[in-house]
A and B are shown apart, each in its own frame.
Chain A
Amino acid sequence: MAKKSLISICIALLLLGLSKQSIADWVADFQPPADSSSPLKILLPDDIDIITLTTLGVELDGIDITALLTLDGNNFLYTPVEPLSSGQHSIRLVVFDNEGKTNPKNDWSFTLTDLDLASTDAPEQQIQQAEAWIRSSSFEADTLTEFSNRAHQHNIGSAPDHSIISGAGNVHGALQGENWSVDAQGNYLIQSDTDLALTGNAVDLGEYAISANYSGTSATTGVTLGHHDIGINSMLFSSFQRRGVSAHIADNNDRMSANAFAFRPQTQVGASDFTGLSDSNNRLEGVSASIKPFSEDQNALKITGLYYDGEGDTGGIGIGGEQEVSTGSGYGLILEKKLLEGKLDFRAEYARAHYDADGSAALAPEDNSDAISMLLEARPFESLILLDKYMDIVIGAKYERIDTFFESLANQGIAADRDAITVYSNLYWGSFSANLQFINETNNVDDLTSSPTDELQNFTWSTNYAFDPQTGSKSWLGTPYLNFSGFVSTLQREDTPSGYLGNDTDNASNSISVGGGSSYQDWYWSASHTYASLEDDTNTTSDTVSNYSSLSAAWTVSDRLELNSDLQYGIFEDQDNDTESYSTNLNFGLRSALIKNKLDWSLTYNLNLAAGDNDSPDKHIINSELGWTIQQTGKNHPGLSLALRGSMEKTNANTTSTSDETQYQVFAVFRIMAPYSSNY
C-alpha cells in the first residue's frame, strides 16, 4: 500500500512539474470575430493539458468572460452575448497562480468598423433613400396565427368548428422629423369561426390610435384618431377612452391650450366604423380650453372650460348593465391653483348637465342638474426626515354635491345623488404607508318631497409596511411585508317625509383585512384574511357575515420549472335565513421547459367547491399544453411550433348524480409567429 502511494505522489509531482513547465512555454494566438455578433477565438496549443486550462481567465474590454467561454477543441470560443460596438476592443488572457493572483499571458486588440456591425442595423442605402426630413422611423409588427383542430372531445355540446384558424397581431409605426412626429399603433384578431369572432368578421381590427404632433417655435399642435382619452378628469369627463378624433393646440409656455373632439359614446371595436364618427346618432362632440390668465408659473391659477353635446348608446364591448340610447349635453368650469409655494392645492369644479336617459323614446324626462366639488390638499412638510427616514404627509378635504339625476354621456356610471364631505390623510414614512379617509354623505340631493333622506358615515383605512431584506439568523424571513385595511360604516335615516310607507334605513357594515407575505430569491408567498359583516336593523336585506382567507405562493424551482398555487376558502353566513355556504377555490400552475427552447409544458388545475346551504356541483378543471418549437422566433425571423393542448372539466354533485359529467377536449395546434421590426 505504501509503495502504491509513493508511486502516485511521484506521478502527481511529475504532472505538476510538466504543467508548470507548459505554463511557461506555451503560446496562445487570437482570432478576432468576423462581425459584432460572431464568435472570437483564442487559439491554444494542441497539447495544452486540462489542468492548465483551469488556471486561465479571459477578459473582453475589462469584463471577465471566463464563465461563458466554451471549448472548441483545445481553443477558447466566446460568442458575444451583446453585439459588440464599433471601435477598438481588447482581449486579455491571464493565468491564475496558486494564490489566485493574475499573471498576464497575452493581450490582443481588434477593431470593428460600422460595416462589421450585425445586419440588424439599417443599411446605409435605406438611410439615403429616406426623405431628408425624416430623422428616424420605426416599424414593428408581431403576429401569431394558429391552425387548431379539435382532435378529440367528450360531452362537448354544440361546439364551434373542429378546425379553426385564429390569431392576433400588434402593429406599431413611428415617424420622427425635426419638429413633428407621427405614431400609429393597433391590434387585430383573426377567427375563422365567426361565432367566436370579436365582431362576427373572420379578420377584424381591434383597437387603434394614430396621432400626429407638431412642435413649433411658440406652440404645439396635434391630431389623434382612434381609441384615446382627452385626458380630462372631471365630473363631466372621466375614464372616457373611446374611438373618435381630437385636435389640440397649446402654447409652449403651457399657458393656453384648447382641444376639440368627437367620439362615439359606445365602446367600439372592428373596422366597420373606423373613425367612430360614421353614425350621427351615436356621436358626442365638444371642446375644452384652459388658460392661465395671470401668469405662466406652474403654481398660477388655471381655468378650464368644458362643453359637450351628444347622443348615443351607453353600452358596447366590456359594458354590462343599464344601456340605453341617451342624449346629453353639459358644460363645466374648473379652477386650479397652488398656494403657499405649492404646498396647498386648491381645485373647484362646477358642472351642468342636461340628460335624457332614454333619448328620443321620450318616456323619461330630460333632467337638468348640477354638480359641484371643491378640494383642498396640503403637503405641509418638505424633505421631512424622521429617525433617518424620509416622511411625506398629505392632508386633504373635499366637498362634493352631485344632484340626484346628474348623468353625463362622457362619465357613464358616475355616482350621483351625493352631498358628501371627505377628509383624508396619506402618510409615507420610509417603508410604511397609511391612508385614512372619513366621509359623511347624504342622499336625496334634489329634495324629492316623496323620498326620504339618508346619511352615510364611512371610515376607511389602509396601512402597509415593507421590511428590509432580512439577513443572518433572520434570513429565513426573506423580504417580508404586512398590510392592514378595512372600513366601518353606518347608514341611517335622516329625514322621512310624512305619510311615507317605504322601507326604513338603518344598517351598519364593516370590513377588516389583514395580510402579509415575503419574497425570497426563488419564491414568494402571501396570505390574507378578510372579515366583513352587514347588519340591517330594518331587515330590508339579510344580515350577513363573511370570512375569506387566501394563501398563494410561487416557486422558481430552476430555469426549467416554475410552480405557483393559490387557495381561497370562504364562509358566507346569512344570519336572517340561518344559512351558511362555503366555497373553496384552488389553483395550481406548472410551467416547465422540458427541453430548453424546444419542448415546453404547462398545466393548470382548478378546483371549485361550493358547499353548505348554497351547495352546487364541485368542479375540477385541468388545462394543459405541450408545445414543441420547430423553429425559434427571432428578430425578423418567423418561428414555427406545434402544440397539443386540451382541457378536462369534471362536474360532481354531492347529493345527486344527475349533474355529474366529465367533459374533455383535445386540440392539435400548428402555430406561426411572424415578428418584424425595423428602425432607421
Chain B
Amino acid sequence: MPSSELWRHILVTTSIVLAIVLATFTGSTFASVNSVTTSPSNITVPAKGIATVNVTWLVNRTAAATATRIVSSSTAELQLNGSTIATVGGNISTSSTLNSGQTATVTLTETITFNAALARRIAASPAGSLRIIRIFTDTERVGTGLVNVYTGASNSGPLAVRRIDLAFENSARTDVVYKQDVVHAIADISFRSSGILKGEWRIIEPSASLGSSGGRVLRVIRQNLVSSGEGRTRIVSPALPTLNNGLHLVSFVVEDATIEIPILRYFVLDNKEASLDTEPSELIILSPNDGVGLDQNTTFKWQNVAGAQAYQIEIFNKDETIPLTGKLVPATESKLTLSPLSFDWLTPGNEYSWRIRAFGVGGKLLAQSKLQSLYLP
C-alpha cells in the first residue's frame, strides 16, 4: 500500500473512531449527527461495462441550539478489501435549520459512475463487494455512512441503455435524399437488464434547423425490453419528413439515460423524377383482377403515382413486347375504360396481357405495373 493511501486510511479510521467517541460521550448536550443511512442500503452493478448508480444519504441530526448549519461531506471513498482505492463524488452539502433540541433528517443525493475497470475489480475481489464511505459534518459533529456495492450479472439493477447506434435504413449515417423518398432511421439499442424503454423520435426540420433547434416529437416509444444478461433491439422510426428541401436532423432520445444523444443529418433535394434517371417503381393495380374477361364496362383502376403527368394502359398479344393497343389518359384520372378504338384491335376468344405505366415530366417513366392477363369473351 502506498504511504499516502496508508495515511489517508489511518485518517479516515481515526475520524470514524473520533466520531463514535464524541457521539457517545457528548450525548445530546451539543449539536450532533445522530446517524447516516443510505437508500438503497445495498447496490448491485453489473460486472461488465460502465454503471451509474444514484445514492441518497440520509443524515439524521439533533440541534443543541436554534441555528442553520451546513451539512456536508467533502468526498466519497471507495474501499475494497478494507483499502481505499479511489475517491469519487466530490463535495455534497445542504443546509439544515433546526430549533434547539429538534431532530430531523436531511437528504443528499449523488450519482456515482463505476467505470468498466472498477466493476471488474469488484467482481474479482474475494468479498465480491465494495464500500462507499462518506463522512458528514454539520460543522460541530461528524457521522459516517456507508453503502455496499455488489457486482452481479449483466441484468443487475434497472434497465440501462448502454449504446445507441443510429443509422438510416441503407446503413448510412449522413444521407442526401429526394423529396418524397421514404426514409426511416433505425436505432440499434444495446442494453442491460430489463425494464421499460422511454424514448422519443425527434426531428428538426428545415424551418428550424438553421435557427433554433428545439425540434418536435415524431413518436413516443414505450417498449418493454427484456434480457437475462445483455440485450439488443432495433427500433424503426416512423417515415421521416421529406416534403421540404433542406437540412433535417433526427435523433432518438432516451429519457433518464446518461448517454450522449446521437444525431443524424439528412438533406432533402428536389424531386429526383424531375431531374435524374431512376428506375421505375411498381404501379399498383386496384382492378380488374388478373385474368378478367374484358368488356366495355371493365374499369381499370390504379393507385396514384406522385409526380405523374399521364397514365397509359398497354395491351399486348401474348408474349409480345410491343403494345397492340391501349389508351392514354391525363394524371387527373385514376381509372379508365377502353374505347371502341381499342376494341377494334382485339379478337374475341383471344387472351392478352396488359400493364399500366405512369409518366412524369419529360416523359420519364415513373412506374409501371406487373404484366397481367385478360381475355375477350
Contact = CB atoms under 8 A, between A and B. Distances in A.
A166 B49 CA distance: 40
A511 B223 contact: yes
A443 B231 CA distance: 11
A96 interface: yes
A568 B178 CA distance: 28
A417 B222 contact: no
A404 B47 contact: yes
A64 B328 contact: yes
Q: Would you list the 8 A-B pairs with minimal beta carbon distance, nearest first?
A: A450-B128, A417-B229, A675-B275, A363-B117, A321-B163, A168-B267, A502-B150, A443-B229
B81 to A, nearest CB: 13
B145 interface: no
Given A67-B333, A505-B155, A81 B173 contact: no
Contact of B227 (A405, A415, A502, A546): A415
B15 to A, nearest CB: 26
Contacts of B260: 320-321, 323
Interface in B190-226: 190, 194-196, 198, 205-212, 214, 216-220, 222-224, 226
Contacts of A57: 339-341
Contact of A169 (B43, B49, B244, B269): B269
Interface in B260-299: 260-265, 267, 269-272, 274-277, 286-287
A344 interface: no
Given A66-B341, A159-B212, A623-B205, A319 B165 contact: yes
A144 B267 contact: yes
A400 to B, nearest CB: 11
A148 interface: yes
Given A625-B206, A647-B208, A647-B211, A81 B359 contact: yes
A634 B277 CA distance: 11
A413 B207 contact: no
A320 B166 contact: yes
Contacts of B211: 150, 153, 156, 159-160, 647, 665, 667
A483 interface: no
B116 interface: yes
A604 interface: yes
Given A229-B171, A358-B117, A632 B150 contact: no
Contacts of A144: 245, 267, 269-270
Interface in A166-191: 166-170, 187-189, 191
Contacts of B344: 102
A405 B49 CA distance: 9
A191 B286 CA distance: 45
Q: Looking at A269, A505, A572, which has the most chain B CB atoms within 10 Å of its CB?
A: A505
Interface in A624-674: 624-625, 627, 632-635, 639, 643, 645-647, 649, 663, 665, 667, 669, 671, 673
Of A160, A168, A196, chain B has the most CB atoms within 10 Å of the CB of A168
A565 B263 CA distance: 25
Contacts of B214: 621, 649, 663
Contacts of A81: 309-310, 312, 328, 359, 363
B361 A634 contact: yes
A491 interface: yes
Interface in A555-570: 556, 559, 566, 568, 570
Contacts of A63: 312, 314, 323, 325-328
A40 to B, nearest CB: 13
Contact of A602 (B244, B265, B339): B244
A83 B359 CA distance: 11
B50 interface: yes
A143 to B, nearest CB: 8
Contacts of B220: 548, 568, 570, 583, 585
A502 B265 CA distance: 43
B196 A534 contact: yes
B362 interface: yes
A494 B186 CA distance: 35
Interface in B299-332: 301, 303-304, 309-310, 312, 314, 323-332
Contacts of B287: 469
A623 B344 CA distance: 54
A452 interface: yes
B147 to A, nearest CB: 11
Interface in B134-176: 148, 150-159, 161-167, 171-176
A94 B342 CA distance: 12
A413 B229 contact: no
Contacts of B222: 530, 532, 546, 548, 570, 572
Q: Which of B158, B165, B262, B342 has the most CB of A within 10 A?
A: B165
Contacts of B341: 57, 59, 64, 66, 92, 94, 102
B51 to A, nearest CB: 11
A285 B332 CA distance: 57
Contacts of B314: 63
Contacts of A229: 171
Contacts of A647: 205, 207-208, 211-212
A434 to B, nearest CB: 21
A39 to B, nearest CB: 13
Contacts of B355: none
B286 A521 contact: yes
B259 interface: yes
B66 interface: no
Nearest to B222: A546
B226 A318 contact: no
A418 interface: yes
A140 B276 CA distance: 7
A606 interface: yes
Contacts, number: 432
B107 to A, nearest CB: 16
A217 interface: no
Contact of B224 (A444, A511, A619): A511
A67 B196 contact: no
Interface string A276-303: 0000000000000000000000000000
Given A357-B116, A413-B163, A416-B229, A61 B153 contact: no
Contacts of B223: 511, 532
A521 B287 CA distance: 11
Contacts of A585: 217, 219-220
A405 B205 CA distance: 41
Contacts of B172: 206-207, 227, 241
B44 interface: yes
Contact of B210 (A160, A443, A635): A160
A633 B207 contact: no
Among B125, B229, B330, B362, find the residue whose CB has the most chain A CB atoms closer than 10 A: B229
A82 B227 CA distance: 57
Given A37-B363, A649-B212, A358 B116 contact: yes
A318 to B, nearest CB: 4
A604 B365 contact: no
B351 interface: no
A259 interface: no
Interface string A515-554: 0000001100000001011100000110010101000000
Nearest to A490: B226
Contacts of B310: 68, 81
A459 B43 CA distance: 30
A490 to B, nearest CB: 9
A486 to B, nearest CB: 10
A412 B189 CA distance: 11
A227 B175 CA distance: 12
A74 interface: no
A570 B200 CA distance: 13
B174 A317 contact: yes
A625 B174 contact: no
Contact of B267 (A102, A148, A189): A189
B184 interface: no
A246 B205 CA distance: 37
B69 interface: no
